[in-house]
Amino acid sequence: MRRIFSIVSVISTLLGLSMIISISNSGNLYETLTFETKGTAFIVFFNLYNFLGFLFACLAERNKYRILLFICSIAMLLVSLILTFVGVYGFQEP
């Protein structure tokens, strides 16, 4: 069962990474991954993939790859939270 958690964590982390790459390249992949939502729902999906990656990395089987998976998922979660903070508070009109 813990091996499945490792696989789900890798998939979730890669989905979060692909969203960040797609947004920075103005691609259409992020529209597919967020089901073409905008606004608050987009922010929830943007952070949800990385949070699920972190959650399943905590539950994954204990081996040498778990540490790498845990570090990558934390890094992606921090990047998505920083980008969310910039998006929510940085682009407000005065």
Q: What is the pLDDT of residues 75-92, one digit of tens each?
A: 999 999 999 999 888 887
Q: What is the pLDDT of residue 94?
A: 66
Specify the pTM: 0.84
What is the domain extent for residue 47? 2-90
Total of domains in the chain: 1
The answer to whether the CB of 79 falls within 8 A of the CB of 19 is no
Residue 80: which of 6, 29, 15 has the closest Cα?
Answer: 15
